[in-house]
């Protein structure tokens, strides 16, 4: 490596360009309104405690008979699937004729400290599914689980196979012990009993800090340095701020549910290895007989592809399809390629099994 060479004129030009960007950015920032996400019209159709089941409304009536229920993770809010007008998986699914519902778990507080996975899966999720079965007069629904919500959906489909017509999992961990899973390595030796007994509910800010430190340079430095380049572009700046708001507007985690998820899924790897119980109900992935579409992201640092691929040999159905998407854990919902490819892939797969 040779010495660093700085050309004075080039450095001066760069400094002037930076100054101009900052000056223009100041004016753009002053012109911005509050950014928001969750853009598609929706109505609350069922509520229980802090959980709300929403039905989205598209520009045309659904053409499918079986409703599609999206089960998101407890981490972050579910509106990554409906971030903005031109980045909405929900909007695109509606346009294709799907009847889309979504569970918003809400923001747990001290009263929810002792909610368990049993409450979330055998309680809230089961009652949402039963509500849809009754409302639409169908025996089973199409279930789309995302990340941790995908793990919940796998548990639900194994416990209640008669209530799931088709199962779609997206960026869903199944094997929590793959060598490339850094998050899993961090929590293997975590004293989660001491952690939860001390904190009660797990603060969202602490969870976000952990996720950001998985890629500390990229997520804590580079993206903010890159922010200078878009300061004078109102639309790009709004996109950036919208994503930041989504990241840092996360809910806390109910303490007992967090304890069980870390122990049984991350530390015990019981979803894949066996021995997992949700409440008094055993979870055996071989009990899943419905068709399964498994979508994962090839550059996912939170759920490595290998953690999802194993689902193929873990479920009991022979109707298994998997799609590897070029992108990361979030890009699978918000990139232009995702908007073009993912909703049609889900819709076409479901239509063949309608």
- Given CA atoms 287, 289, 290, 291 in this order, what sign does their dihedral have? positive
Between β-strands 68-71 and 292-297, what pairing exists: parallel, antiparallel or unpaired? unpaired
DSSP letters spanning 243-306: HHHHHHSPPPB-HHHHHHIIIIIIIT-HHHHS--EETTEE--GGG--S-EEEEEETT-SSS-HH
For residue 87, the cross-strand partners are 84
Would you state the structure tokens that stand for residue 25, as one six-digit string? 């950015």
Q: Which two tokens stand for residue 183?
A: 């998050």
Label residues 285-321 b or e (16+ Cβ within 10 Å = b).
Answer: beebbbbbbbbbbeebbbbbbebbbbbeebbebeebe
284: Cβ–Cβ under 8 A, 6 or more apart, which residues? 158, 274
Read off the tokens for 44: 């609350």
CA nearest to 83, candidates 73, 92, 74, 95? 92
Report the alpha-carbon distance of residue 273 to residue 174 in Å, rounded: 10
- Tell me the C-alpha distance between 149 and 172, whole Å: 8
Q: Is 255 helix (H, G, I), strand (E, B) or coil?
A: helix
Q: Are the beta carbons of 55 and 43 closer than 8 angstroms?
A: yes
Picking from 296, 60, 333, the residue whose alpha carbon sits closest to that of residue 181 is: 296
Would you state the structure tokens that stand for residue 264, as one six-digit string?
């049984």
Integer Cα distance of 260 and 280 in angstroms: 14
Q: Token pair of 107, please?
A: 């923001």
Query: Active site includes 155?
Result: no
Task: Determine which one of 71, 128, 147, 155 is catalytic.
Answer: 147
Q: Point out the residues that are catalytic.
A: 147
């Amino acid at each position: 490596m040779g010495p660093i060479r700085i050309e004075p004129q080039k450095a001066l030009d760069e400094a002037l360009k930076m100054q101009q960007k900052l000056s223009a950015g100041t004016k753009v920032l002053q012109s911005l309104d509050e950014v928001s996400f969750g853009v598609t019209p929706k109505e609350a159709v069922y509520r229980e405690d802090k959980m709300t089941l929403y039905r989205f409304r598209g520009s045309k009536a659904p053409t499918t008979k079986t409703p599609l229920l999206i089960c998101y993770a407890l981490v972050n809010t579910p509106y990554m699937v409906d971030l903005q007008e031109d980045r909405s998986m929900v909007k695109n699914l509606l346009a294709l004729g799907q009847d889309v519902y979504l569970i918003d778990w809400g923001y747990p507080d001290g009263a929810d400290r002792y909610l368990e996975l049993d409450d979330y899966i055998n309680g809230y999720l089961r009652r949402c599914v039963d509500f849809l079965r009754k409302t639409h007069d169908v025996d089973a629904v199409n279930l789309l689980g995302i990340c941790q919500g995908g793990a919940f959906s796998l548990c639900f489909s194994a416990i209640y196979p008669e209530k799931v017509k088709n199962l779609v999992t997206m960026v869903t961990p199944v094997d929590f012990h793959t060598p490339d899973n850094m998050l899993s390595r961090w929590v293997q030796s975590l004293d989660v009993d001491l952690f939860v007994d001390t904190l009660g509910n797990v603060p969202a800010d602490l969870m976000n800090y952990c996720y950001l430190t998985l890629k500390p340079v990229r997520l804590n430095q580079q993206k903010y340095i890159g922010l200078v380049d878009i300061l004078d572009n109102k639309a790009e700046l709004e996109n950036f701020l919208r994503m930041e708001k989504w990241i840092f507007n996360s809910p806390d985690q109910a303490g007992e549910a967090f304890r069980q998820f870390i122990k049984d899924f991350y530390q015990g790897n019981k979803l894949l290895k066996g021995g997992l119980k949700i409440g008094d109900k055993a979870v055996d992935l071989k009990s899943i007989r419905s068709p399964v579409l498994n979508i994962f992201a090839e550059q996912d640092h939170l759920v490595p592809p290998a953690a999802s691929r194993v689902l193929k040999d873990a479920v009991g159905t022979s109707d298994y399809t998997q799609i590897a998407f070029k992108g990361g854990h979030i890009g699978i919902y918000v990139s232009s390629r995702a908007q073009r490819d993912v909703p049609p892939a889900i819709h076409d797969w479901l239509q063949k099994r309608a």
